[in-house]
Structure 1
Amino acid sequence: MNSRLDFCKTSPEAIKAMIALEQPIGNSSLEKPLIELVRLRASQINGCAYCMDLHSADARKAGEDERRLATVGAWRETPFFSQRERAALAWTEAVTLVSSTHVPDDVWESVQPHFTPEEMTDLTLLVVAINGWNRFSIALRKMPA
């Protein structure tokens, strides 16, 4: 597969807008390991090789456990994730698959006890942002280095 174009170079303003979308996430109370797990899980669902490579490497650099990275796609079947992380992963899946899930009430109800309203907004923004990056990278064929 060949890269179609380097979107970072062809439209710096578009990339500035995407980076600005990320700013509140970095300033949020969401934990860095949780943020990377969410980014990785959404990227797995979307099949974004570039983002999967990037966020698994970022998670490793931040000290994430290799077993957790290897099993994030099967988080329901492992004991490696906290209740808060499980809630975030369920939310990530429902929001990423919004066209088929419509983010059901039972997912909302299971996530709410683990996050403040502000964190829920930040978590949703995180899922929206990584899905946007996935779409840029998949559509324009950004390749892992």
Structure 2
Amino acid sequence: MSNRLSIQATEPAAFNPMMGLERYLGESDIEPKLRQLIKVRASMLNNCAYCIQMHTDEALKLNESLHRLMALSAWTESPLFNERERAVLQLTDEVTLISDEGVTDETYNLCLDILGEQVLSQCIMQVVTINAWNRIAVATKMTHE
């Protein structure tokens, strides 16, 4: 257990709008399973155990396969993901690791072709949002029950 502070308790005026953004994204056009793949993959890259556990549980409730969840750590080598998922996972990696190369034109254009402007915008916001949650959870050493 950690004795670090709770952002939710100390800064509800900042935390509550984040929850509102999360609720909005939950109603977006991103398929629920794909939304969870984004969250688990970004959380893996950010070493956020709290969010990995939370979003793996949520994905399993959506009948996502355990094999695909385990394969997320090596998705580029796995045949378990379709073209749409692979494009979004690449986007997730590039946005999460933005300081490496940014988002390449190849990834951006592929996602735009596959997803369209609306869903691409929503996917970018989903990646940005889970990265923010990861940083809160890691910085405060949140633990999942």
Q: Same fold (TM over 0.5)?
A: yes
Unmatched 5+ residue regions in structure 1?
A: none
Q: Output aligned runs, 1:1-145, within 5 Å.
A: 2-145=2-145
CA contact (8 A) 1:53 1:144 kept: yes
Aligned length: 145
CA contact (8 A) 1:29 1:119 kept: yes
Change (3 A) 1:15 1:71: same
Q: TM-score, normalised by structure 2?
A: 0.94
**Which of the pair has the greater relative contact order for Cα pairs under 8 Å at 6+ separation?**
1
Q: Deviations over 1:53-83 (max 9, x none)?
A: 1000110111110100110111111111111
Displacement after TM superposition at 1:23 (Å): 2.9
> Residues of 1 paired with 2:141 and 2:94: CA distance?
25
Amino acid of the structure 1 residue aligned with 2:106: D
Q: Please identify runs of 4+ aligned residues in structure 1 that moved more than 4 A.
A: none
Between the aligned residues of both structures, percent identity stands at 37
Amino acid of the structure 1 residue aligned with 2:11: S
